Amino acid sequence: MKVKKVRQKSLNSPRGKRVAKRKKEDLSKLTTEEFFGQNFETDSDACDDGEEDKNIDDEDNEQMDSENSEDDEQIDSDSSEGDLDPAEHKKSLMRLKDTDPEFYKYLKENDKNLLDFRVSDDEDDDNSSINDDRHVPNENLEVASDESDFEPEEAEGDSKKKITLKLLKTWQQNIQTDKSIITIKCAVDAFHAALDSVAALPDTTTEYKVDGSAAFNGVMQLCIMYLPDAFKRFLKLDPESQEVHKSKRFGKIRVILKLYLSDLIKLLQSVASSSILTVLLKHLRQMLPYTRSFSSLTKPLLRILIKFWSTAEETVRVTAFLNILHIATKKESVLEKLLKTMYVKYVQNTKFVSPNTLPGINFMKHSLIEIYLLDHDVSYNHAFLYIRQLAINLRNAITLKKKENFQAVYNWQYINSLRFWTELITKSKDKSMLRSLLYPLVQIIVGTIKVIPTAQYYPLRFHCIEMLLAISKETGTFIPILPFLLEILDTYDFNKRHKAVTMKPIPLICILRMSKSQLAENGFKDSIIETVYQFILENAANESHKIYFPDVYIPCIVQLKAFLKKCHVAAYCKKIKQLLNMIEENRKYIETERTKITVDLKNTAEITNWENRMKTDGTEIAKFYASWIKIHKSQVLKLLTKNEEEINVPVRLPKKQKLDERDAEDSEEESELEFRLKGTESETERKKSLNKAKKRKKNKEKKTTNNIEDEDLPREDTDIVQDINSDDWG
């Protein structure tokens, strides 16, 4: 049936029409006798028609007829067998494109299904040996041919060796025992390829290819765990040796070592996980001896380490600082640049102080002090310039009295800078050059207190007093601190009724300026009394063994008694009276001990020995303060952690045995205080009018200062780092 269809279609084709036309032309030339003498055949004689077609084709084109006859014979033979080979049939149809283009075009236009004859997958497998040199005109076949041509070229161009877990395991075994450079080079190249696999612009010259997270992690683990020992083994270094460049084999491994250190720095810059950063920084600590041989890597390495030290998570900060300290200790040439950069970073990160940021600020302060104490001479130059700049800002605030000048002083960056230089100088040695900056620093702190001496800035005053107390205690220098505390008791009206009630005391450790709403709360007065009590007690405890204690604290005793007379709040009077009793008792004790010896004021050594003996024996007020401060610090910690349950627990202060044994006179004074608290309204109004008159007089004298009182200082956009530039200082 297939053969008949093919022949019928061939008769309807242009070729068949052309043959029929040619027959008509031949018949027109015949005579009547010749015409009737012809043997006419029916359409059913297919074989004769095939012969006529063959004779006509021989006249037109012998080659084309021979090929068609071969096709017909092939088709006949296939049909006689009953099974037509699809591949051969397809080839015969495709040959029509070359042998008879017009007929092929006709088939393409009228019977496209015949040309789209598809061979099954099984038949393709059986005929896989067919010559592929011929181009099949089918569009689908052409696309498949293009893809197959491209794939081998891509495979040939990708010559990188893929990293597998099996290969990494082999390297891990070899790198622990191999003393050559081969395995080290393979590990470093694989590390470089691993970074390129995640880089935005990968390096096309890498020898290896890392695909997948398993291979990436395997390469990282191999290098971190085994490369440091492998480098030591190859260079034949001692366990404590730091002179890597002096090894005879350093020239052979120099390029590989620099490549690995550079990639390690790049990896540190791109990692965000704190746990991974901690591991990498610990590994970097092992590789730091090798960085000394490459000065070009020191600057980018310190830049990323300082970033971690100032902004990262706590564990990362500590690990980064250990690396910085090692570099600064072993490489003195970078110390000067390091001091300036780290100090500026410290100031930038102290702009805002809160319970959350305070631990990080304290860590930066203490770690930076360790760096500055490495070289006192270099540190002195930086300290002199920065303290001088703080003094310039203070001078501008006092003389110019403009808003921006006040803001340059009354902010957290300025206070934290003073605190840093205070701790640095107190921790330096007695004969250090840094001790020569003690006097100007104390003058700056005292001047800062006096810029705006109002109740709104009592917290800032307390921060400055705390610094002065630390300097006096650590250096043994006498600083007149009591006047700044007694001034508060003398000028502030603690009898004034509060407009708001709060159950929580106000923690002043993270505050510089009180708001108007906080000034109206009862918690403000409670915090003021508590802080004044703490600082007077601390100062008295620090100087309780001094030979001059009875003379220096006479004004303090007088002013404390004056405060008790004018204060009507029983809780405040009770606390100040307890403080007064301890000071008077210590004064009597020192006077008694002082009369037992003959004091020669010119013999300072004898006086020092006597004071040391008194300090060793211990005074009652010093013992009381040691026990009280522990309870106070725990209370402050509870306030900062906002633990309400622990905050409301009443704090029981330690009491001396002599204070517990109150006599009748003390009980009478307490009853008198309670009576005075319930005093007549006329007496209270009279005192209020006197206080108002005093305040009006002070307001006239300090008009400019009071205009600044309501200002919101400091502003959030104030940044004194802009002023800290050593290039501008002459």
Phi-psi region at 642: left, alpha or beta (left = phi > 0; alpha = psi -120 to 50): left
49 or 297, greater pLDDT: 297
626 or 23, greater pLDDT: 626
Amino acid occupying residue 707: N
CA atoms of 136 and 126, how far apart (whole Å)? 18
From 54-58, 356-360, 424-428, 551-555, the region with the lowest mean pLDDT = 54-58
445-499 pLDDT, tens per residue? 999 999 999 999 999 999 999 999 999 999 999 999 999 999 999 999 999 888 8
Residue whose C-alpha is closest to residue 466's, from 659, 621, 629, 326:
629
Tell me, yes or no, whether 351 and 492 share the same domain: no
Q: Is the pLDDT of residue 698 over 60?
A: no
pLDDT at residue 112, rounded to an integer: 60
117-136 pLDDT, tens per residue? 544 444 444 444 334 443 33
For residue 637, give both structure tokens: 């910690």
Q: Is the pLDDT of residue 682 over 80?
A: no
Assigned domain for 612 exists: yes
How many residues make up the chain in this entry?
Answer: 730
Tell me, yes or no, whether 555 and 426 share the same domain: no
pLDDT at residue 633, rounded to an integer: 86
Tell me, yes or no, whether 404 and 515 share the same domain: no
pLDDT at residue 250, rounded to an integer: 87
pTM over 0.75: no
From 79-83, 87-91, 420-424, 638-642, the region with the lowest mean pLDDT = 79-83
Assigned domain for 573 exists: yes
Mean pLDDT for 692-713 is: 49
Q: What's the total number of domains in the chain? A: 2
Contact 136, 142 (CB under 8 A): yes
Q: For residue 543, what are the domain limits?
A: 455-640
CA distances from 234 to 1, 181, 262, 655 (A): 84, 7, 20, 69
Contact 119, 127 (CB under 8 A): yes
pLDDT at residue 717, rounded to an integer: 45
Confidence category of residue 199, pLDDT binned at 50, 70, 90: confident
508 or 245, greater pLDDT: 508
Residue whose C-alpha is closest to residue 230's, from 196, 271, 187:
187
Contact 539, 480 (CB under 8 A): no
From 26-40, 207-221, 278-292, 507-521, the region with the lowest mean pLDDT = 26-40
Tell me, yes or no, whether 631 and 505 share the same domain: yes
Tell me, yes or no, whether 603 and 461 share the same domain: yes
Domain boundary residue among 640, 663, 678?
640
Looking from the CA of 45 toward its CB, the CA atoms found within 13 Å total: 9
Assigned domain for 522 exists: yes
Cβ neighbours for 99, distance < 8 A, ≥ 6 positions apart = 64, 67, 68
148 or 209, greater pLDDT: 209
3-state secondary structure 234-281: HHCCCCCCCCHHHCCCHHHHHHHHHHHHHHHHHHHHHCCCHHHHHHHH
Confidence category of residue 114, pLDDT binned at 50, 70, 90: low
CA atoms of 729 and 727, how far apart (whole Å)? 6
What value does the mean pLDDT of the chain take? Answer: 77
Beta bridge partners of 209: 162
Tell me, yes or no, whether 388 and 345 share the same domain: yes
Assigned domain for 50 exists: no
CA atoms of 176 and 154, how far apart (whole Å)? 37
Beta bridge partners of 161: 208
Residue that the structure tokens 């940044």 belong to:
719
Tell me, yes or no, whether 372 and 488 share the same domain: no
Mean pLDDT for 260-265 is: 95
Tell me, yes or no, whether 354 and 490 share the same domain: no
For residue 96, give both structure tokens: 């029509």
pLDDT at residue 211, rounded to an integer: 87
Assigned domain for 669 exists: no
Assigned domain for 410 exists: yes
512 or 140, greater pLDDT: 512
Domain boundary residue among 452, 479, 501?
452
* Percent of the chain at pLDDT exceeding 70: 67
Tell me, yes or no, whether 511 and 368 share the same domain: no
Highest mean pLDDT among 113-122, 154-163, 324-333, 431-440: 431-440
Phi-psi region at 540: left, alpha or beta (left = phi > 0; alpha = psi -120 to 50): alpha
pLDDT at residue 14, rounded to an integer: 53
Assigned domain for 483 exists: yes
Tell me, yes or no, whether 478 and 436 share the same domain: no
Tell me, yes or no, whether 537 and 441 share the same domain: no
361-411 pLDDT, tens per residue? 999 999 999 999 999 999 999 999 999 999 999 999 999 999 999 999 999
pLDDT at residue 601, rounded to an integer: 83
Tell me, yes or no, whether 472 and 438 share the same domain: no
Domain boundary residue among 590, 612, 640?
640
**Extended strands (E) in 243-317:** none
Confidence category of residue 637, pLDDT binned at 50, 70, 90: confident
pLDDT at residue 430, rounded to an integer: 87
302-351 pLDDT, tens per residue? 999 999 999 999 999 999 999 999 999 988 889 999 999 999 999 999 99
Cβ neighbours for 160, distance < 8 A, ≥ 6 positions apart = 193, 206, 207, 208, 209
Highest mean pLDDT among 22-31, 35-44, 95-104, 519-528: 519-528
Q: Is 500 helix (H, G, I), strand (E, B) or coil?
A: strand
For residue 625, give both structure tokens: 């303060």
Q: Is 162 helix (H, G, I), strand (E, B) or coil?
A: strand
For residue 655, give both structure tokens: 């009491």
Element of type H or E holding 161? strand 161-162
Assigned domain for 587 exists: yes
Confidence category of residue 598, pLDDT binned at 50, 70, 90: confident
pLDDT at residue 507, rounded to an integer: 78
Confidence category of residue 237, pLDDT binned at 50, 70, 90: confident
